[in-house]
Amino acid sequence: MKNIKKKIFLISGDPNSINSEIIYKSWLKLNNSIRERLYIISNYNLIRSQFQKLKYRIKLNNVKHLDVLNKNNEIKIINVDLKFKDSFNVKKKDSSIFVQKCLKLGHKLSLKKETAGLINCAINKNLLNKKNIGVTEFLASKCNIKDKSEVMMIRGKKLSVCPITTHIDLKNVSHNIKSKLIIAKVRTIRRQFQKLFKKNPKIGILGLNPHNAEFKINSEEVKEIIPAISYLKKNGFKIQGPLVSDTIFVKDFKYYDVLVGMYHDQVLTPFKTLYKFDAINVTLGLKYLRVSPDHGIAANIIKKNKANASSLIECINFIHKFG
């Protein structure tokens, strides 16, 4: 009998990381109905070796097809073939090949109707071999999104934040703040909020400069941000701004469903200060649902059994609920 529930695919991510540890810890917390849906995209021998070194005793199933039922509490592995000499000290070249193979396979499987969504564990962006590109941009490219309307959303239970620009150097941010881009991304945010959460979100738009540059005529606030907000208001969006970024996270963030910042750390730093591991990274606007834990590879605690699996568990539960 085939499992009729949609499948959840989890990419194990960067091999030089805490990923195998949090996969194991997450598995222990999942109920059987979720375990039945979950497939790990990785290298079977790599995961087995890492589990052995961490002294984790659990059965792995190197599945040959996607209709395998969950038997004997086995973790199902979709094998990405590659040879590794040292499972926790993989060379950058091999790590890059492996990560990109896993992402491409995950993308391909996620396009199928029987897929609930895709999760990827943490990945060092340098492994993607392109400047200023993370997994969000990598998958957007695979989905043939050319207008940059995809959105990185860090979602907590009470608040979400989205940066307009993502993985670019701070010196280049101002050149990329354009009304057209703000409008495209906010449209994606509202559309996906309505689809996933059945809600028309209250959105706050932050300014770029300290004190919104006092609204000087040549500022990004006056030239690009305010025109975008005005256009969106006229088209029925529940939106306010530009908000002052150095005070919004003190108290007034509670009045919004989403805060949209102009660059990565403008919203992610205060958000993580407030919510720590109680959040996930959701990519909006792809052809499928994709999420990832809201943390990095944590190289400083590899093999120390200290990693917090909370964010990955939230990712899996999110796909289980909304996928």
pLDDT in tens, 165-179: 988 899 999 999 999
Q: What is the largest CA-CA distance in the chain?
A: 67
Read out DSSP for 274-296?
A: HHTTS-EEEEESSSS-EEEESS-
Q: Quote the CA–CA distance of 43 and 252 in Å, as a whole number.
A: 46
What is the reported pLDDT for 72? 63
Give mean pLDDT, residues 11-34. Answer: 94
Residue that is written with structure tokens 């050319």 in the block: 146
Residue that is written with structure tokens 């200060």 in the block: 273
What is the reported pLDDT for 4? 53
Give mean pLDDT, residues 292-312. Answer: 91
> In the chain, pLDDT over 70 holds for what percent of residues?
97
Q: CB atoms < 10 A from the CB of 102, how many?
A: 26
User: What are the C-alpha distances in Å from 261 to residues 83, 147, 213, 246, 257?
Assistant: 42, 19, 15, 11, 13
Q: Quote the CA–CA distance of 9 and 290 in Å, as a whole number.
A: 10
Of the CATH numbers 3.40.50.970, 2.60.120.10, 3.40.718.10, 1.10.760.10, which one belongs to the domain with range 147-285?
Answer: 3.40.718.10
Is residue 86 a contact partner of residue 303, using CB atoms and an 8 Å limit? no
Residues near 3 by beta carbon (within 8 Å), at least 6 away in sequence: 36, 37, 67, 69
> Residue 190 belongs to what H/E stretch?
helix 179-197
Q: In the chain, where does the domain assigned CATH 3.40.718.10 lie?
A: 1-145+286-323, 147-285
Does 49 score more than 80 pLDDT?
yes
Q: How close are the terminal C-alpha atoms of the chain, in Å?
A: 22
Residues near 51 by beta carbon (within 8 Å), at least 6 away in sequence: 20, 24, 58, 60
What is the reported pLDDT for 5? 82
Does 306 score more than 80 pLDDT?
yes
Residues near 302 by beta carbon (within 8 Å), at least 6 away in sequence: 16, 17, 18, 88
What is the reported pLDDT for 3? 41
Domain 1-145+286-323 has CATH 3.40.718.10: yes
Report yes or no on whether pTM surpasses 0.75.
yes
What average pLDDT is seen over the chain?
92
